[in-house]
Amino acid sequence: MFDNIIPILPDLWLAIGQTFLMLGIGVGAAIVLGGPLGVLLFLMSPGQSLSSPKTYLVVSWVVNTIRSFPFIILLVVLAPVTLKIVGEPIGPLAASVPLSVAAIPYLARLVEQSLREVPRGVIEAAQAMGASELQIVWRVLAREARSGLILALTVLAVSFLSYSAVAGVVGGGGIGDLAIRYGYYRFQTDVMLMTVAILIVIVQIIQFGGNALAHRLDKRS
C-alpha cells in the first residue's frame, strides 16, 4: 500500500522543511507585530489607560476585515505584493507573505482577549504605585496573562499549520503541495494518507507542548 512513499522521501523531507519555514515566518511575524498590536488594542479599548474609542473602532475594524478574508483569497489578492517583496509569486517564501499578513491580526485579537482576563484590580494597583505604561505591560499584563498568551500562540500555530497546507494548492510548497501533486493529481492514496498523518502528528506535538507550557506558567496551578 505504501509503495509510492519510498521514492518521494527526498521530496517529503523538503516539504516538511518548507512547512516549518512558512510556519516559522508567519508565527514570527505575528509575535513581532501582532503581539504589540493586541496590547495596543487592549490599552485603547474603553475603560483602559489609553482609552480611545474612535481609534479602537478603526483599528478593530481593520483587524476584523483582514481576518474575514478566506486564506485562499488572501493568497491571490496579495500576489502582486508578494512578487515585489520576495521576487517570486510561488514557493514557501512567497506563501509566507500572506501567511504573515493573516497571522498578525489573528494573534492580535487573541492577545487582546487574553489580556482581558487579567483582573482589573491588579492593573489599578500597579497604576496606584506609579508604574508606567511599559511597566504595566511587561510586569503586570504579560506576567498575569502569560498562560493565556501561550495558549493563544498554540492556537495560532495549529491554525496556521493548516493554512500552510492550503498554500500548497497554489504552489506554495510544503506538505500541502506534496499532497496535491502526488496524492491528488497522481491518485496516490498512500501519499495522501501519509501527509495527513504527518500533519496530525505535528498538530499533536504543538498542542501538547503548548498546553504543558501554559499549565506550568499558570499561577493558579
CA distance 74 to 83: 14
| Confidence grade of residue 2 (pLDDT, cut at 50, 70, 90) | low
| Nearest C-alpha neighbor of 71 from the set 110, 26, 37 | 26
- Mean pLDDT of all residues belonging to the chain: 87
The residue ranking higher by pLDDT, 5 or 195, is 195
CATH for 6-217?
Answer: 1.10.3720.10
The residue ranking higher by pLDDT, 88 or 201, is 201
The region of weakest confidence among 6-10, 148-152, 213-217 is 6-10
CB atoms within 10 A of CB 116: 13
Q: What is the pLDDT of residue 171?
A: 67
Strand, coil or helix: what is 221?
coil
CA distance 139 to 200: 36
- Please name the residue that has the C-alpha cell 496556521: 160
Mind listing the pLDDT tens digit for each residue in 19-47? 999 999 999 999 999 999 999 999 999 88
On the question of pLDDT at 73 being above 90, the answer is no
CA distance 178 to 14: 10
Mind listing the pLDDT tens digit for each residue in 161-210? 988 888 777 767 788 888 888 877 777 788 888 888 999 999 999 999 99
Average pLDDT over residues 138-157: 91
